[in-house]
Amino acid sequence: MIHELILWIQHNLKYVVQQDKTSACSGESMLSTEATTDNAVSTVLLHLDHMRAKGKYVKTLEKWCADLKLTGRVMFMGKMIFILLQGDKSSIKEYMVLQKTSKVDVDSSGKKCKEKMISVLFETKAQTEDRRFQAFEVKEYSTLDELQNEFKAAGLAELFTEFVLPRLK
């Protein structure tokens, strides 16, 4: 499956490079209306049930986000794990495919496994008042106030109240 994914990327990357060269020569814009709509900045909030191999799992998430040019946070508070991502809608979709098809964690016997316990709590096109994260970071919070302040700083206080707070009770 990974081999097929690599072949798909190679095939499509060639197409994008060819299209870019053609557009540059003719002076045309490479973005169509459809591409602009699909690549609008989106925000998604995910909830993970658990991480058994935390170090490896987090490194994988950091690599995917760097490759897909996604920003946001992995937020740990006690046993709760939230992932808040911002980026192109197409990149977020690709991230979700990777999240569900790659072996990112280990099961109780230590065998590599795919993520089956992930929930999409919220997804939307980012609003103009939302502040974009500058990078993808891993953060641990010891209090509810610290976690809430992270959402407030991002202009997402309502998201915290509506989707995160009920899971913490």
Boundaries of domain holding 5: 1-30
Number of domains in the chain: 2
**Do 156 and 90 share a structural domain?**
yes
Residues 126, 77 contacting (CB under 8 angstroms): no
> Which CATH number is 111's domain given?
3.30.70.100
**Do 48 and 23 share a structural domain?**
no
- pTM tops 0.85: no
- Nearest to 47, CA basis, from 69, 72, 75: 75
**Do 21 and 85 share a structural domain?**
no
**Do 162 and 122 share a structural domain?**
yes
Q: What is the pLDDT at residue 3? A: 73
Q: What is the pLDDT at residue 35? A: 38
Q: What is the pLDDT at residue 6? A: 73
Residue 84 φ then ψ, to 5°: -115, 115
Q: How far is CA 23 from the centre of its chain?
A: 30
**Do 121 and 64 share a structural domain?**
yes
Ranges of the chain whose pLDDT falls below 70: 5, 7-8, 10-39, 52-53, 105-108, 113-114, 126-131
